Structure 1
Amino acid sequence: MLLLQWAGEAAWDLDLTQIDYRVRYCGTGMDEGSRSTEERAEAERLARLEHERAAEGERHRVEEQAWCGRLPSEHLKRVAGNVRGMVQLDRLLVDEVDGAAPESAQRNGRGW
């Protein structure tokens, strides 16, 4: 009994009894030879793009989780101090203060 590689490129003698066997095989990249260079480049570009989108989605999810389920405004991201600590205490209040008053008024109201 012989095991033959595709196109007879190699062969191996198998020590098997000569009966009918069911054979399964798996191949990858078998259609690569029929693709043009441009098609392969486009497929690689699309795969990279999908990978980048997935990574961006994961970064977004992690940041959202760090800010109690909702991304902060750009202003909140730039504020010095313990904004994340305040978000942990009362996210709705932080959002209201962020959206309701100019920065100078926010500083004056921080003594409460």
Structure 2
Amino acid sequence: MTSDDPLLAARALVLHDLTSYSFADPRAVSILEDAVAERRWWVQEWPEGAAYVAGQVAQDVQDALLDTIGRWPLCKACDLVEPHELRINPELGPDPQWVCERSGMAVSPLGKL
């Protein structure tokens, strides 16, 4: 693997965001590792989609965390009191961003929370 491996880059971005929200415990990191491994086939089958894999990995981790540990990442950017998540936008596209699921406000690029 080279340093320009899109899956390693995706892993680094998601790990940064997990860490910034104090979610980078062994269980969450294991979920991240599984998501990266499962997406390897996707990049192999659709090399042109490599630019989109970071957002896909983030969504995979988010979905798995919701099923096991809890909501991540919670929105801290808007004034709504009720807990709600940030979501990746676009769902399939380059340059994914975290967006408040309630207000639609762009909060941060993936890897910059």
Same fold per TM (> 0.5)? no
Give the TM-score, by structure 2 length. Answer: 0.22
Higher strand share: 2
Give the TM-score, by structure 1 length. Answer: 0.22
More RCO (CA 8 Å, sep 6+): 2
From the CA coordinates, give the structure whose radius of gyration is larger.
Answer: 1
Higher helix share: 1
